[in-house]
A = this chain, B = another copy of it.
Amino acid sequence: MLLSNAYHLYLRPGLEIIRSTGGLHQFMSWDGPILTDSGGFQLFSLGKLIKVTENGVQFKSHINGSQHYMTPEDCISIQETLGADIIMPLDHCLPHDSDPLELKKAVIRTYNWAIRAKQAHTNTTQSLFGIVQGGTSIPLRKEAVDSITSIGFPGYAIGGLSVGESADLMYATLQATTQLLPFDKPRYLMGVGSPEHLVQGVLMGIDLFDCVFPTRLARNGALFTDQGRINIRNKQFKVNTDPIDTNCNCWVCSSYSLAYINHLFRSHELLGYRLATIHNLHFILVLMENLRTAIREDTLKEYSKDFLDRYQSK
Contact = CB atoms under 8 A, between A and B. Distances in A.
Interface of A: 12-13, 16-17, 20-21, 27-29, 219, 238-239, 241, 255-257, 259-260, 262-263, 266-267, 270, 273-274
Contact of A257 (B21, B255, B263, B274): B21
Contact of A13 (B16, B256, B259, B270): B259
Contact of A21 (B13, B20, B219, B260): B260
- Say what secondary structure dominates the interface of chain A: helix
Contacts of A262: 13
8 closest A-B pairs by CB:
A29-B255, A13-B263, A21-B241, A17-B259, A27-B260, A21-B257, A29-B256, A17-B239
A13 to B, nearest CB: 4
Contacts of A29: 255-256, 260
Contacts of A241: 20-21
17 contacts: A13-B262, A13-B266, A16-B239, A17-B263, A20-B239, A20-B241, A20-B259, A21-B259, A27-B257, A27-B260, A28-B260, A29-B255, A29-B256, A29-B260, A219-B270, A270-B270, A270-B274
A49 B239 CA distance: 28
Nearest to A16: B239
A219 B270 CA distance: 10
Contacts of A27: 257, 259-260
Contacts of A219: 270
A12 B260 CA distance: 11
Given A29-B256, A255-B29, A274-B274, A267 B20 contact: no
Interface centre among A16, A17, A274 (most CB of B within 10 A): A17
A266 B16 contact: no
B267 A12 contact: yes
Given A28-B260, A256-B29, A260-B27, A238 B273 contact: no
Nearest to A266: B12
A29 B261 CA distance: 11
Nearest to A215: B270
Contacts of A12: 263, 266-267
Contacts of A21: 241, 257, 259-260
A219 to B, nearest CB: 8
Contacts of A270: 219, 270, 273-274
A16 to B, nearest CB: 7
A282 to B, nearest CB: 16
A257 B239 CA distance: 42
Contacts of A263: 12-13, 17
A238 B274 contact: no
Contacts of A255: 29
A277 to B, nearest CB: 8
A256 B17 CA distance: 13
